[in-house]
Structure 1
Amino acid sequence: MSSAQRKDDHVRLAMEQQHAREAGSPFDEVAFVHHALAGIDRDEVSLATTFAGITWRAPLYINAMTGGSAKTGAINRDLATAAHESGLAIASGSMHAYFKDPSCAETFRVLRTHNPGGFVMANVNATARVDDVRRALELLQADALQIHLNTAQETPMPEGDRSFGAWAGQIERIAAAVEVPVIVKEVGNGLSRQTVRALAGLGVRVADVSGRGGTDFARIENGRRARGEYGYLHGWGQSTPACLLDALDAPLPLLASGGVRHPLDVARALALGASAAGSSGHFLRTLLDGGERGVEALVAELTGWLDQLAALQTMLGARTPADLAHCDVLVGGSLRDFCADRGIDTRRLAQRAGSIDTLHEMTGRTP
């Protein structure tokens, strides 16, 4: 099967997952404690977020999706247009297809040509050669590099990699060789605290936990197998909230993607320590379901999310996205069980804000 056909299959199977997705989510096991006098004025709120020397106008991004075929090139063009109109950062899909076949370069380059002033991240795998990484960064004039980790995807993939032992060393070589910030992300199975700590030692600047709850690539690859014999890998890994809780004291800034459904999930992720939250499949569904008006629909959704996030910060008394990490949150259900088993004290999360006066001091507001 050609690389282009595989990329198209990924989009088709990802959309089947999106349309079949159940309403529940591990994010629903995270709840803000409501303090009725904590609210501030809307004009005091800023959505800007800064981490690892990077500043974004909002703590939201369009995460890695696709590229490598004519169909996915058109998708990237539309995603780039939406990113440009909403002012959000965007990541390419894996550029491995470009390394194998340079003729598909335009399917990735549209992320820059249709988003000339935006923050663009090039995405490569952990086996990419340094020279290829530099080609990818140059093609997109990229502001940052994403390196994805995907052992649970490669394992059921019919043509997948079966040699993972050299990944850490190659990540370290890439990080030392490029001038842009390096972000390492999972593809939907999560990063443990041990992994995040290891990445910090490899020269990585940011970790995107990308947990279970969004697109399930193990399921996608198993769906491409004639017998589907890897069905037991469906749902492998830790959820995004679990990963954030596991890495509360991480030595790296964290990004959160995987199962982010709406602005409240973004706020929950920020409250658990993320600097920003991203989505892929949800935004792709909005784009494709919109048909000829898909870009318009996606831009409307993105700007709506930003407006709602600012409203949530106003209600919670958080002048900045970072201030959400001082809000009281309750952790319940299976997520609380995960924390207990991993030695994470969730009680401190429920008692961070102190008094209402303390909340107002935190936001620089005099009650």
Structure 2
Amino acid sequence: MIADRKDDHVRHAVNQRSADTAANDFDCVTFVHHALAGIDSDDVSLAVDVAGKQWATPLYVNAMTGGSAKTGEINRKLAIAARETGIPIATGSMSAYFRDPAVADTYRVLRQENPHGFVMANVNATASLDQVRRAIDLLEADALQIHLNAVQEVVMPEGDRSFGSWPRQIEHITANVPVPVIVKEVGFGLSRQTVTWLRDAGVSVADVGGRGGTNFARIENERRPAADFAFIESWGQSTPNCLLDSAGLDGIGIAASGGIRSPLDIARALALGADATGVAGAFLDTIVRQDTDALVTQIRTWLDQLRQILTVLGARTPAELAGCDLLITGDVATFCALRGIDVAALAHRSPRWHESNDRGGVIHE
């Protein structure tokens, strides 16, 4: 039954991408263009610091799948793509492994195909400490992801209905595992209050996992015989809203996933305060509809295009994007107004580049 559900999730997720409109709240975030702000592309580094480690890029393959023969093959292809492009990768929820150790290889393949890469194990908030340690050991994981999916669970016909123990269990796991802990939503967003609580609980990174990408409420509703939960499909906050809501919080890293469609969305997320950005749906679509080589090409193209965006904006590192001027409009501006977030300040935060930056380029006579 679990294997069938994992295969259903992949099928519905791929179909959802072909049916969804391309628009989301990232379209409400625009860079102010300064025509003389550009730098040399060779001066740009995409390296970022996440969970106490340096990653070569701010892009990672986010949690997707595992637990069946079909999803194990998807994980194998994703791991090869991560290895060939040097980006971190997370496995999907390992609940199926806890219930049936026979499916271990559908997850272990991420490490087998990517022996030197940064690999994250993924568990739910009800996992016991023993299960968590087994997951970390199986993958020789560099970090642990704990996913929060209460909305998905209540729509899932066979899902959990008890969430009161989650905070206590997250604290317990965080205090007793040997790797950094990343807590992520699965598409409904993390509020500032939630991120603050995670920080105080010792969590290293909060992945805001906002609305705008794969919609698990819709997926689970399509699995219900009566499909009677459609009213909840728009639940939660978008990724840009979550990033703006959590701006300025110290003591915890911020990752952004949910609705990342292009290198421009990556740059937008970084400019809104993310340290790194995770992609699942767009990469899953490429793997399922094309092949591993196509995904490797896509990732390399995205990283090159991201570098060129930083070049035009005059940002030598992803972190410097947080100083670029942004215009916040539409539904995101409305959210900010209601949450007391000053978006006008974001439009005037860059230094006067001609005074503050050394532009020692070649003068052509």
TM-score bin, normalised by smaller chain: over 0.9
Distance 2:15 2:274 in 1: 29
Q: Who is 1:84 aligned against?
A: 83
Q: TM-score, normalised by structure 1?
A: 0.97
Q: Return the offset for 1:55.
A: 1.0
CA contact (8 A) 1:353 1:359 kept: no
Q: Who is 2:345 aligned against?
A: 348
Amino acid paired to 1:278: G
Aligned length: 360
Q: Who is 2:166 aligned against?
A: 167
Distance 1:117 1:15 in 2: 29
Q: Who is 1:301 aligned against?
A: 298
Q: Who is 2:141 aligned against?
A: 142
Distance 1:215 1:24 in 2: 13
Q: Return the offset for 1:347.
A: 1.1
Amino acid paired to 2:299: L
Distance 1:275 1:357 in 2: 27
Q: Who is 1:288 aligned against?
A: 288
1:155 counterpart SS class: helix
**1:316 aligns with one of 297, 313, 316:** 313
1:35 counterpart SS class: coil
Which runs of 5 or more structure 2 residues have no equivalent in the other structure? none
2:30 counterpart SS class: strand
Alpha-carbon distance change, 166 to 359 in structure 1, aligned in 2, over 3 angstroms = farther
Alpha-carbon distance change, 34 to 201 in structure 1, aligned in 2, over 3 angstroms = same
Amino acid paired to 1:84: R
Distance 2:84 2:342 in 1: 41
Distance 2:92 2:234 in 1: 21
CA contact (8 A) 2:50 2:276 kept: no
Q: Who is 1:276 aligned against?
A: 276
Amino acid paired to 1:106: D
CA contact (8 A) 1:40 1:317 kept: yes
User: Does 1:74 pair with 2:77?
Assistant: no
User: Does 1:157 pair with 2:153?
Assistant: no
1:31 counterpart SS class: strand
Distance 1:50 1:184 in 2: 17
Q: Return the offset for 1:360.
A: 2.2
Q: Who is 1:104 aligned against?
A: 103
Q: TM-score, normalised by structure 2?
A: 0.97
User: Identity, % of aligned pairs?
Assistant: 61
1:43 counterpart SS class: helix
Q: Please give the residue correspondences for 1:165-204 in structure 2 after superposition, counting only pairs within 5 Å.
A: 165-204=164-203
Amino acid paired to 1:352: R
Output the aligned Cα RMSD: 1.0
Which runs of 5 or more structure 1 residues have no equivalent in the other structure? none
The worse-fitting range, judged by mean Cα deviation, of 347-356 and 72-81 is 347-356
Q: Return the offset for 1:23.
A: 1.7
Q: Who is 1:360 aligned against?
A: 357
Deviation string for 1:194-213 (max 9, x for gaps)?
A: 00001111111100001000
Q: Return the offset for 1:117.
A: 0.5
Distance 1:299 1:335 in 2: 33
Distance 2:15 2:333 in 1: 31
CA contact (8 A) 1:360 1:366 kept: no
Q: Who is 2:266 aligned against?
A: 266
Q: Please give the residue correspondences for 1:26-45 in structure 2 after superposition, counting only pairs within 5 Å.
A: 26-45=25-44
CA contact (8 A) 1:317 1:359 kept: no
User: Does 1:118 pair with 2:113?
Assistant: no
Distance 1:52 1:113 in 2: 23
Q: Who is 2:256 aligned against?
A: 256
